[in-house]
Amino acid sequence: MYGLGLDGYAPDSQHDAAIAFRIRVVEDEQFIPRHQHRKGQLILALHGALTCEVDNAMWMVPPQYAVWVPGQVPHSNRATPGARICFLFIEPGVAEMPDHCCTLKISPLVRELILTLSERTGADTARLVQLLFDELPQQPQQHLQLPVSSHPKIREMTDTMANAPDRWHTLGQWASHFAMSERNLARLVVKETGLSFLRWRHRLQLILALQLLIRGQAVQQVAQALGYDSTTAFITMFKKVLGKTPKAYIAELGHDS
């Protein structure tokens, strides 16, 4: 079950520079509420998808990607049904990892190193861990995050559009809902997220789309679920952000697996 070992496994033990273990979500979508670790945490999605949220952003983690969460950063995790996930806890200062949360595209070599480490214990892991620490900092960062905010209006917009993605499309709808001008709301979105409303909404739609595609829904079904008038318009948005069509992107994830 998702969450197995997060307390009993003692990931914050100082005896190991790196600790890895795997879990499988055997029930419905699972949620681990806000928590933090002394060690840095790399969360690698092997199958299914994971979202990780911190104070100011939400990260999407499709298969063969990972999210890096530095030590002492409060975060929450949500995994899709049937997901298989590998956690890697890293002692602070032993590897040149980013000082901020980010999504990383994990190479087949690093993936196998992490999986092998999850199956071994003791002194025979020293060389394995050193190679892993040499390779991890070279993994490219990906833009699969959604800037969020504690501002009540931004939080309401995020939660509502995530739960009903086929509605609440336009800035005008939200401005009317909040009884404010579109110009002032547009400024608020940029101030709180760093993105225009349109770019911010596309990021959210992308996260939702990946979750649905990974669960096996057809491209046309996903486009309809997100409220697009045509499948072509959805494919155009997807390709503009990720550089590939939805089918090509999901096929690549399956190939990497």
* Per-residue pLDDT tens over the stretch 216-231: 889 999 999 998 989 9
Residue 159, judged by CB atoms within 10 A of its CB (0-12, 13-18, 19+), counts as exposed
Q: Which residues pair with 22 in a beta bridge?
A: 86
Quote the tokens at residue 104: 């990383």
Is 55 in contact with 74 (CB distance < 8 Å)? yes
pLDDT of residue 8: 37
Is 65 in contact with 142 (CB distance < 8 Å)? yes
Which percentage of the chain shows pLDDT scores above 90?
A: 40
* Per-residue pLDDT tens over the stretch 14-30: 557 888 988 887 766 67
pLDDT of residue 18: 86
The mean of the pLDDT values for the chain is: 84
Whether the model pTM is above 0.85:
no
* Per-residue pLDDT tens over the stretch 116-143: 999 876 667 888 899 999 999 999 888 7
pLDDT of residue 33: 85
pLDDT of residue 15: 56
The stretches in the chain having pLDDT less than 70 are: 1-15, 27-29, 121-123, 254-257
Q: DSSP labels for 167-183?
A: S--SHHHHHHHTTS-HH
- Where do the domains of the chain lie, and which CATH numbers do they carry? 18-142 (2.60.120.810), 148-256 (1.10.10.60)
Q: What is the DSSP letter of 20?
A: E
In angstroms, the CA 23 to CA 32 distance is 13
pLDDT of residue 6: 41
